[in-house]
Structures are given as structure tokens and as C-alpha cells.
Structure 1
Amino acid sequence: MNTHKGINAAELLSTYKSQQKVEGGFRFLKSPDFLVSSLYLKKAERIEALLMVMTLCLMVYAAIQHRIRYELKKQSRVFLNQKKKPCQNPTARWVFFCFQGVSVLTVNNQEQRVVGLKERQWTIIQVLGILYESVYS
């Protein structure tokens, strides 16, 4: 069965189901962790600017999550989820949480070293590629 725009039923169902991914992103933006509820803006321009920044943040979030999941599958690697089970589709939120405790140590106001990296963080850094490895090494 085709719809009036030439999309078949399977494509239509797939598009409808992908809506959940977008809604999940906005759920992330509305979470208390993002602190949006603590902002109060009156001017329409400022509201529009905030929405633009939030949408940009959501795009970056979705892009990094997609890249991590894609590379984990492509490289046949896994990352431990919240239940300590190996997975290839972690959320970006979980990955960001796992980077807590990683810091930059400055020695003699010059030399900087990344400290606190563990094996699970290195998994993500390595699947993201040489550029990320050079930043964190």
C-alpha cells in the first residue's frame, strides 16, 4: 500500500518509529540535569537564542552517540552499560557520566596531563580515533 507521497507502508512505519529517538533527545534536554527549568527569560530573542543553543547541544549529543555506537559495532568492541553488561549501543549520557573523574593536571603552569583515565574511557577514546587519542594522551 502506498501513501499519496510515494512512501510505502514499511518506510512510513520506520519514520514513525524513529520519532521516538527525537523525543528521547528532548526528554534529555528537559531533564533536571540540564538545568533548563532554572532559567527564566522574558524577551523573545533570548528564548529563541536559548532554544537554538539547546538544539545545537542536542545535535552534538546525538552525533557523538551515533559515532560511538557506529564505531563500537564497526570495530566489534563493547562498552559496559550501567548494569556492567557489555553493549554496543551506550547512550551518550552514560558515556559522559563515565568520564567523571577525568581531569587535566597542570604542572608548573605549563605542562598539562590528563589524569584519571581508566580502561573504559580508553575504549571510547580509541573507537573515536587518533585525534581523540592525541588529545587524551
Structure 2
Amino acid sequence: MSDQPIKRKKRGRPKKDEQTKREQIYQIQLESFEKDHDFIENKKRMLSTFVLITNKLDEETLSNQEVLRVYKGQSAAETRFRLIKDSQMIDAIYLKTPERVEALGIVYVMALLIYGILEYRVRKELKEKNLSLILKGKRKLYQPTGQALLEQLEDITVILINQNRQKLRLLPDNIDSQAKKIIELCGYDVSIYVSKNVENKGE
């Protein structure tokens, strides 16, 4: 403990009869200390623990490790559903009946499933064949997102011709090479844009 004067807040010299205010300052001085290793380890365990609740109480049916794996897998599903929560996707859609709302929800989920399959197949093939894609913006990607793949596929143009009361669908000769590569990585070829019967070459 030490007794020290308090610094004056007023400017100028102090008055002759002005008393100096003082304050007592306490300081802690550690002589010696050592770590409490048991306390530290217990604190680490507490901080690295979180609670998961399930109604599957039989560990033979669902082990603790499986519960944790399923929990951690939620992020993938939540990331996918974030796409259809975008205000641009739902802001201007008006449906009159609950049945139509339900039907639209099913369509969205199916589209999301196809989106995920597209991304998974392309990434899998790129990894196995040690390839990359050069997508829009001259970006070299080894794990492209589904959105980046769809943006590249938008460059594929289908020519529609009405001839003798029949509609012909044709593809131009200058198809974007990277878009074509994406289709092939999925196990198809660009003829799926004009063919009625589609066959997966990867199966």
C-alpha cells in the first residue's frame, strides 16, 4: 500500500491554503505461485463438452459417436436450405392455396437435391481425375460450388426451330468448353439438352 497525491483537475497554481488530496494505492505482489493442473484439465473438459439430446436411448441402435456424426452433418443440410431462403427466391412468389405452397416446397426440395448431386458428382470426378475447371472470372477451381457450375451451364444455348409443324432442338457448334466438361463430369454429354431419352454414361 502507498499513499499518493491526487492530480489536480484545475489549471494553474494551487491556492496557499489549498490542501492536497491524497489516495491510498493498493498493489498486489505475488511471491510465488504454481499451476493447478487438475483444475485446468477439468476446465478444459467442461469447455470442450456440449450436450446432445436424443430420444434414441439404446446405444446399440444409435451409438454416441453416431449421434455426434449426425449432429455435425446438419451443417451440410442447413447450408443447402440457405439457398432457398434467399429473398430473391421467395419474395415475389404468391400462391393462393396451401396445396400450391406445399407443391412449390416439394419442387424446391427436388431442385435442391439435383443441385447437391451436380456439385457432388463434379467434385468427385475432379478429385479422382486430378482435374480443375476454369469457370467465369477465369477462376481455377478444384471444388466448385453448385452455384458456380449452374452459372457456367447458363452459357449453353439451345436453338429451337419450327419446321413442318415439328419443333427441332439443336445445339450450336461453339458450345462453351467448360460447360461441356461439367456435363461430361456428371456422366452425360451435351446431347441431353436436345434428346428425349437420356442415358448416364457413368453407370
Q: TM-score range by the shorter chain?
A: 0.7 to 0.9
Equivalences for residues 6-21 of structure 1 within 5 A? 6=59, 7-21=62-76
Residues 101, 85 of structure 1: alpha-carbon distance in 2 compared, 3 angstrom cutoff = closer
Q: CA RMSD in A?
A: 2.8
Distance 1:83 1:27, change over 3 A: farther
Count of aligned pairs between the two proteins:
132
Moved more, 11-20 or 56-65: 11-20
Counterpart selection for 1:135 from 178, 182, 192: 192
User: Which residue is 2:21 aligned to?
Assistant: none
Counterparts of 1:104 and 1:45, CA distance in 2 = 34
Pair 44,136 (structure 1): closer, same or farther in 2 beyond 3 Å: closer
> What's the CA shift string for 1:32-79, capped at 9, x where partnerless?
44x322112242211111111111111111122212122222222222
Q: How does 1:24-35 map to 2 (within 5 A)?
A: 24-33=79-88, 35=89
TM-superposed CA distance for 1:84, in Å, is 1.5
Residue equivalent to 2:147: 93
Q: CA offsets, 1:8-38, max 9 Å, x none?
A: 44433332222111111111112244x3221
Percent of residue pairs identical: 27
Which residue does the alignment assign to 1:23? 78
Change (3 A) 1:62 1:120: same
String of CA shifts for 1:93-135, please: whole Å, max 9, x gaps: 1100112232023568447123552232232122122x32443
- TM, length-normalised to structure 2: 0.54
Q: Match for 1:121: what amino acid?
A: A
> Kindly tell me: are residues 115 and 29 of structure 1, through their superposed partners in 2, closer, same or farther at Cα, counting changes over 3 Å?
farther
Q: With structure 1 as the length reference, what TM-score do the two structures score?
A: 0.75
| Partner secondary structure for residue 38 of structure 1 | coil
Contact 1:61-1:92 within 8 A present in 2 as well: yes
Q: Write the letter of the residue equivalent to 2:140.
A: K
- Is this contact kept in 2: 1:105–1:115, CA < 8 A? no
| Unaligned 5+ runs, structure 1 | none
Change (3 A) 1:101 1:17: same
Give the alignment partner of residue 98 of structure 2, picking from 41, 44, 54: 44
Please tell me the residue identity of whatever aligns with 1:118: D
Considering fraction of residues, name the structure with more helix: 1
* Segments of 4+ moved more than 4 angstroms: 106-111
If you compute each CA radius of gyration, which structure gives the higher value, 1 or 2? 2
Alignment-mate amino acid for residue 192 of structure 2: V
Relative contact order: is structure 1 or structure 2 higher (C-alpha 8 Å, sep ≥ 6)? 1
